Amino acid sequence: MAVTRRQILARTGASVAGIAFTGALADLFAGSSAAAEPRGGYGPLLPDPAGLLDLPAGFSYRVLSRQGDPLRSGEGTVPGRFDGMSAFAGPRGGVRLVRNHENRPDAPLAVPHVPGLVYDRGGKGGCTVLGLDAAGAVLPGAPGERVGIAGTAVNCAGGPTPWGTWLTCEETEDKAGSKGYEKDHGFVFEVDPADPQRTGAVPLTALGRFAHEAVAVDPYTGIVYETEDAFDRPFGLFYRFLPERPLGGTGSLRAGGTLEALRVPGVPDLSVVQEAGTVFDSVEWVPVPDPQAVSTPIRFQDFGRGGITHAQKLEGCYWGGRCVYFVSSFARASDGSGATHFGQVWKYDPHRRRLTLAVVFGPDTDLQLPGESPDNICLAPTGGLMVCEDGDGAQHVFGVSRRGEVYAVARGRQDIGGPGAPEWGEFAGVTFSPDGATMYVNCYTPGTTFAVTGPWR
């Protein structure tokens, strides 16, 4: 995130200490047991003698991978800038992790260029894949750690597909001929964690060329929802992609489809909506005039007399129940947004074509909760959410229960600051193993992937 703020109360009209949710968020917790959630968290964080990761009593971690080490495949060096990540079931009870590397042209540790997996010889971003056995140990050789895709740029977040692949998103609009790139960037790519050569390095161009942040796939229809994290005005859009081969499995998104952008009639900027629970019925989806943005970025294109609806800092995108949720991390009128807010979570119900402002984060409370600038979010198997922190000062992974309790789960201890000016690497890519027994999380810098086990309940 580009701003720093203390973690704040989610303003939903409830007078409950901590973060409160509207009923709209109940879908997010479908399939998890509220009774299993820890009351008051797991206890205080204990200092790690190794100086890497503080955890509550009874929990332990294993370092799975660190930047600069040799890749177990022998393909080169583990790249840096660990970002979005997801866990997939592997063979014989194991797990495969696909991990993004948000590398720009100045990155010192590029994703190694492996034949068959390179999109652009000028790109330093991409993904790596980790393979773990049933006991949680990294497998030897290529099955344990290898390149998933290379030659891409600024791989920030993405999302899993119902058929078990990862969609990695380029958060850039840079074109061929700029910054050393030989090809246009701003695409989504599919990565098969079981066999990266199967998916190669093919841009899913029909999903649009823009500063992608995250995606969520409707498991019932195959529609792909996408967020755009544009850094200047006019800000990003919320998209849906209607594939020609819905739910067609690996490679099916290459068949093309129709890209549309969300229009809320009479609302050109979502930031002006301030009250949680606000509902817009019969929202519209407008075809994108030029999905490849050949001469004009999509958010600048002409969507007709009704215009299109923008929002600043559109980031996370998640599927829950039968709805898709997307996050606007903040908006500032001084940047050109219609109004200022400190975080929104929107819910879109495809069946009803209904958009609801589910949660508003706001500074209108003197409650001092730990943490600031929440970033990556995932569902916890015991109920509630896990939230990665991305701001100044100490960096945490926090749990948020359905009862509104906020509790620290982990604190980073890797100091990347100078003498007398400590600075700790942010967390990213929090996710859980398919059986819910292990939490995986990245430290962005220095790139480190942790596996955390303990009495999750």
What pLDDT tens digit does each residue of the chain (457 aa) get?
A: 332 333 333 333 332 323 334 444 555 555 455 545 666 689 999 999 999 999 999 999 999 999 999 999 999 999 999 999 999 999 999 999 999 999 999 999 999 999 999 999 999 999 999 999 999 999 999 999 999 999 999 999 999 999 999 999 999 999 999 999 999 999 999 999 999 999 999 999 999 999 999 999 999 999 999 999 998 999 999 999 999 999 999 999 999 999 999 999 999 999 999 988 899 999 999 999 999 999 999 999 999 999 999 999 998 888 888 999 888 888 999 999 999 987 788 899 999 999 999 877 655 433 334 334 456 778 788 777 787 866 567 888 888 776 667 788 999 999 998 888 889 988 999 999 999 999 999 999 999 999 999 998 7
Q: Model-level pTM? A: 0.91
- The conformational region for residue 31 under phi > 0 = left, psi -120 to 50 = alpha, else beta, is left
Q: What is the pLDDT of residues 408-456, one digit of tens each?
A: 899 999 999 888 888 998 899 999 999 999 999 999 999 999 999 999 8
By CB atoms closer than 10 A (0-12, 13-18, 19+), residue 149 is buried
What pLDDT, on the 0 to 100 scale, is given for residue 375?
A: 63
Neighbours of 259 (CB within 10 A): 25
Q: How far apart are CA 100 and CA 84, in angstroms?
A: 5
What count of other Cβ atoms lies within 10 Å of the Cβ of residue 45? 21
Query: What are the CA-CA distances from residue 29 to residues 321, 406, 432 (Å)?
Result: 8, 16, 14
> How far are the Cα atoms of 22, 107, 319 from residue 349, in angstroms, in the given order?
15, 40, 10
Secondary structure letter of residue 425 according to DSSP:
P
Distance CA 227, CA 298 (A): 13
Residue 363 confidence (pLDDT): 54
Instruction: Give the tens place of pLDDT for each residue, 257-284.
Output: 999 999 999 999 999 999 888 999 999 9
CA distance 254 to 95: 27
For 23, the 3-state DSSP assignment is helix
Give the DSSP letter of residue 357: E
Nearest alpha carbon to residue 413 among 102, 59, 101, 55:
55
Q: Is 196 helix (H, G, I), strand (E, B) or coil?
A: helix
22's tokens: 């509207």
